[in-house]
Amino acid sequence: MAITPQWKDELRARITLSTLVQRSVKLTRAGREWKGCCPFHEEKTPSFYVNDQKQFYHCFGCGAHGDAISWMVDQQGLQFMDAVKELAGMAGMEVPAPDPVMAKKAEARASLIDVTEAAQRFFVESLSGPSGGAARDYLQRRGFSAPIMAEFGFGWAPDDRQAMPRALMQFAEDMLEGAGMRASNEQGERYDRFRGRVMLPIQDARGRVIAFGGRILDKRDGVAKYLNSPDTDLFDKGRTLYNLHRAAPAARQSGRVVVVEGYMDVIALANAGIADAVAPLGTALTEMQLELLWRMVDAPVLCFDGDAAGQRAAMRAITRALPMLAPMRSLSIVRLPAGLDPDDLIKAQGKAAMERLLASPANLIDTLWEFERDAQPLTTPEAKAGLKARLMAHVETIADPEIKSLYRRELGDRFSAFAYPPRPPRPAFQPAQRGQRGPWRGAPQQPEGLSEGARVQLSGMMAGGQRQGLVLAVIAGLTRFPHQIAHHAEALSILARNDREVAPLIESLFELAETLDSRAATAICNAQGQPAPPADIRYAFLDEGNDPGAACEELAEAVSLLVERPALEAALAATIARFENDPEGSFAEQTRLRAQLMAIEERLKAFGRRKAGATATGDDTA
């Protein structure tokens, strides 16, 4: 059995790194970290930090960086296996027996690194040689400084299919191919993978060259603009972040790490003095790359181009991150202006413009909401329902139960506010002035003023909150003004469906309305002798002395109040019924519906107060 990465992760997790380091270095608390004077170089001001959560130490003075194993190797002077055995003893773990096959693979990996390091030296020499003139001109036009070009190891791959075997004669063909430097076609011909390209080394977390990326100088049909090494025993593009070995120490100072789309964006930022940037290598961010980012900071900043492709890339990263969210582990997102990449923005507006964007990124949930909200027109109920379905589908992918619950509630609240905006309050009822006609010009003229009995009865109904009394008053009012029955037929039908107690009254009203007899004692009468509403129920809205237009306005408001309340009560009951299956969504919907019910109650009370006031006014004028 070999010592696998998983076994080493378990070993690190069982060792408290600060305790291990404090055996030989004096450390003091510094927030979530420990700090002290670096044991790897002489210093008087502490620049050496230990982070137990992320399981590494780092010196900002000399760049020393590593974990518990490398501490035992570099500081204690042990061989790798001796360091592993000592730490395993501290952690109470058994060291796996050596695996000859894995040992051979490790030896082969070390040999492949010799190939890639030698290839890197060849590319750098070629850039400064006769064949590298066009590449030097290109890099100069891009504005890369000489120190940046040296730091990032710019090189040049000559446009020659057999340059690599001649330059690296010490390595066999199978090693060149194993390191990703050579390829073969269907005819068995072997050739250099990189030709006529500006070359950049891709390095691991320890700064060793493990692969390459190449860019053509000018656009050519059928030729990829960028070409990366294939996956090899050294290089797994899904587990590698470009520039990680430089960005990690810079991120410790800045407290952030910026993720851009490609390595040329990373270099453009570094050229402007922004050193904490990394990039994936031709693929969307993977779970392993996200883990690497979260080991550095709590909320990496995704900075993608402002075009549609860049926004899709951001959403792919968000979708990949949602199942992995944890407390204090999220993403931030920066949207560049449309059509600009980081290099374009810095050249057009300067470093300060880029820093301003990076200083105020959007959070993950805002970006998710805005992307789905703007994904398609939301002009129909079906489209709005589709928005909610997409949002909840994202929520369901979150593994952490607390974060899932919070996302469900937050997105549910945003959807409710968007799909069910509050309606403007109804204007207060203004009774018609003396001698003024209402909009119902066909209504018969009646003397103005409420009878004393009607005032007293209506005031009592509303002040006491007697909803059934209001129903009877509305029925009586409609018998007085039968031309309003058809106008309110739909609302009355809804009321009958939602309130079974009043359904017989409304059905009776519809039946009586089919045979109108204005000569009868009441405006509606039944030919078969079925009585109209009992005579002891006073007309609650207006008697013969009031203006018909004002009466019909009051009648319409009363019908509206009667219909809205049971409809809201029915919706509230349905929401409560689904509480067990969707507690957060149900709670949010209940809150909204209860607020609307309270508004209805206030309107009912206000209606009653108006009537009481009208009664008092009528008494004064009498």
CA dihedral over 469, 471, 473, 479, signed as positive or negative: negative
The pLDDT value recorded for residue 525 is 47
List CB contacts of 172: < 8 A, sequence separation 6 or more.
Answer: none
Are 5-91 and 100-235 equal in CATH topology?
no
The strand order across the sheet containing 33-36 reads: 28-30, 33-36, 48-51, 56-59, 65-66
Q: Which three-class secondary structure state does DSSP give residue 182? A: strand
Please write the tens of the pLDDT for every residue from 552-561: 777 777 777 7
C-alpha 472/C-alpha 457 separation (Å) is: 12
Q: Which CATH class is domain 5-91?
A: alpha beta
Is 422 a residue whose pLDDT tops 80? no
What value does the mean pLDDT take over residues 469-489? 72
Beta strands in 204-300 (DSSP E): 209-216, 226-228, 258-259, 277-278
pLDDT number for residue 592: 78
| Residue pLDDT, tens place only, 51-93 | 988 888 988 878 788 899 989 888 887 878 888 888 988 888 8
CATH architecture designation of domain 287-375: 3-Layer(aba) Sandwich (3.40)
How confident is the model over 574-585, as pLDDT tens digits?
777 666 666 666
Res. 593 pLDDT band, cuts 50 70 90: confident
Which candidate, 99, 95, 97, places its Cα nearest to that of 83? 95
User: For residue 433, with 0-12 CB atoms within 10 Å meaning exposed, 13-18 middle and 19 or more buried, which class applies?
Assistant: exposed
Residue 436 and residue 546: Cα distance in Å, rounded?
A: 11
For domain 100-235, give its CATH number from 3.90.980.10, 2.10.25.10, 3.40.50.1820, 3.40.50.1370: 3.90.980.10
438-470 confidence digits (pLDDT tens): 443 333 333 333 344 433 443 443 333 344 566
Each residue of 493-552: pLDDT tens digit?
Answer: 777 776 677 777 777 666 666 555 444 444 454 444 333 444 443 434 444 555 677 677
Q: pLDDT value at position 99? A: 63
pLDDT number for residue 158:
95
Domain boundary assignment for the chain: 5-91, 100-235, 287-375, 452-621
Q: Which residues contact 378 (CB under 8 A, 6 or more apart)?
A: 384, 387
| Res. 596 pLDDT band, cuts 50 70 90 | confident
Query: By 3-state DSSP, what share of the chain in percent is helix, strand and coil, each rounded to 5?
Result: 50, 10, 35
User: What average pLDDT does the segment 310-320 reach?
Assistant: 87
Q: Which residues neighbour 37 within 8 Å (Cβ) at sequence distance 6 or greater?
A: 25, 26, 43, 44, 45, 46, 47, 48
Mapped onto helix, strand or coil, the DSSP state of residue 66 is strand
